[in-house]
Structure 1
């Protein structure tokens, strides 16, 4: 290849930005990068969503352990969504919607696995033969 042809290819690659000739200038889709404002918003929401459950536990506000656990899990779920939106920039438009579809599929599998595991453990506990304390001490 001649030096002139190589120089022309190099200029085209610099003009295109990424050397692949797709004309995107080396940038990703418009929603791929966050602004400082979105990162700060995500950070503030994360701090608030961490501080509230911490206060609930340390202050004994709800009193009941079950209620507190449910509230903490709800705050954790909201915080996961905040992280996915503000830090991972996941939405229905990024990557043509495939990242969102992969997330939905993953969450479906996780829910099926967790619910199935809890169901199996509950039924195994209910169907096990009870053992008296005397029998438990005599087991080798």
Structure 2
């Protein structure tokens, strides 16, 4: 009975199946500079909507809401790229493909639910006090 050969775990944990190290040098995480840039972008993308809402700089409530929602989507992208490290290079692009698939499914479910609720509300029978009921 032969004993398995033990190798350095840190070296084998990040190696590809053919034994070659990954292109990023085995580091799945970002650099300190990347985290600082991500943090600063997140702070700015939080401060701008907060300032707009608190100061009332834009008089139109729908315009303010649209800007806040747009900056929220930008912040989602910043977090996904800088902190979750989801990009075309990560894991051969599979994490990005999984994210896109998830976004498509969530969009279909939410838009379908809203469509159904809108049409149910429009097609619902009017509720009265019961005096219009015939044969009672």
Report the TM-score, using the length of structure 1 for normalisation.
0.75
CA-to-aligned-CA distance 1:75-109 (integer Å, 9 cap, x gap): 11100000011001111111111111111100001
**Distance in 1 between residues matched to 2:103 and 2:125, nearest whole Å:** 35
Q: Deviations over 1:26-54 (max 9, x none)?
A: xx651622111100000000000011111
Question: What's the CA shift string for 1:38-73, capped at 9, x where partnerless?
Answer: 000000000000111111111122223322222111
Unaligned 5+ segments in structure 1 are none
- Greater share of residues in helix: 1
Matched length? 125
Residue 17 of structure 1 corresponds to 11
Contact 1:17-1:23 at 8 Å conserved across structures: no
Unaligned runs of at least 5 residues, structure 2: 131-136
Q: Does structure 1 residue 65 correspond to structure 2 residue 61?
A: yes
Please provide the CA RMSD for this pair.
2.9
In structure 2, the CA distance between the partners of 1:63 and 1:82, relative to structure 1 (3 Å rule), is same
Residues 92-138 of structure 1: CA distance to partner in whole angstroms, max 9, x if unpaired?
A: 11111111111110000111111111111211222223446xx39xx
1:109 aligns with 2:101: no
- Please give the TM-score of this superposition, normalised by the length of structure 2: 0.77
2: CA distance between counterparts of 1:15 and 1:72?
A: 46
